[in-house]
């Protein structure tokens, strides 16, 4: 490791900037969706699950299965991306915001992989980024 004595310009790898920027802006977009979803959850009655019931059940220490079993018209924990069918409700929109942040890793890694392969000439690292993206994608859809 060397600590330089001058102020040499530091060239930052473009793949890193692409990954960081995609993840950063997608996560912030997710945060805005979650804020709007939280407002709808609290100040309207347009909810998939009654927040009154939800908060009390969580605070009471009920398990996941017990909470979902008690939801009117649902009766069982979901098995899949349940919020996609509920994005006009407060609960659905809040979850979509959260999920958008988690999802941001996949396009971020794919973008970095493309730059590593085509602009920076580093196929092994492009491969690693692609593998990481595919594992995360598999976890999302499996």
Q: Which of the residues 47 through 76 are near other proteins (CB under 8 A)?
A: 51-56, 58-64, 67-68
Supply the minimum distance, in Å, between the C-beta of residue 64 and other proteins. Answer: 5
Residue of the chain from 16, 85, 118, 119 that contacts other proteins (CB under 8 A)? 16
Please tell me whether residue 12 binds other proteins under the rule CB under 8 A.
yes
Residue closest to 18 by CA, chosen among 133, 97, 139: 133
Alpha carbon distance 120, 67 (integer Å): 50
Residue of the chain from 70, 87, 102, 114 that contacts other proteins (CB under 8 A)? 102
DSSP string, 44-83: SS--SS-HHHHHHHHHHT--HHHHHHTSTTT-S---S-GG
Supply the minimum distance, in Å, between the C-beta of residue 85 and other proteins. Answer: 13
| 60 vs 72, beta carbon nearer other proteins | 60
Please tell me whether residue 117 binds other proteins under the rule CB under 8 A.
no
Say how many Å lie between the first and final Cα of the chain, rounded.
Answer: 43
């Amino acid at each position: 490791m060397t600590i330089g004595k001058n102020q040499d310009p530091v060239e930052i790898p473009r793949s890193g900037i692409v990954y960081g920027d995609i993840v950063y802006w997608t996560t912030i977009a997710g945060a805005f969706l979650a804020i709007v979803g939280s407002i709808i959850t609290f100040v309207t009655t347009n909810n998939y699950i009654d927040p009154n019931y939800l908060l009390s059940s969580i605070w009471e220490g009920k398990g996941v299965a017990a909470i979902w079993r008690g939801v009117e018209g649902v009766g069982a924990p979901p098995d899949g991306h349940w919020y996609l069918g509920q994005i006009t409700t407060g609960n659905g929109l809040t979850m979509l915001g959260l999920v958008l942040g988690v999802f941001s890793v996949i396009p971020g890694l794919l973008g970095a992989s493309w730059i590593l392969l085509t602009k920076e000439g580093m196929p092994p690292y492009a491969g690693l980024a692609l593998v990481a993206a595919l594992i995360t994608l598999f976890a999302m859809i499996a």
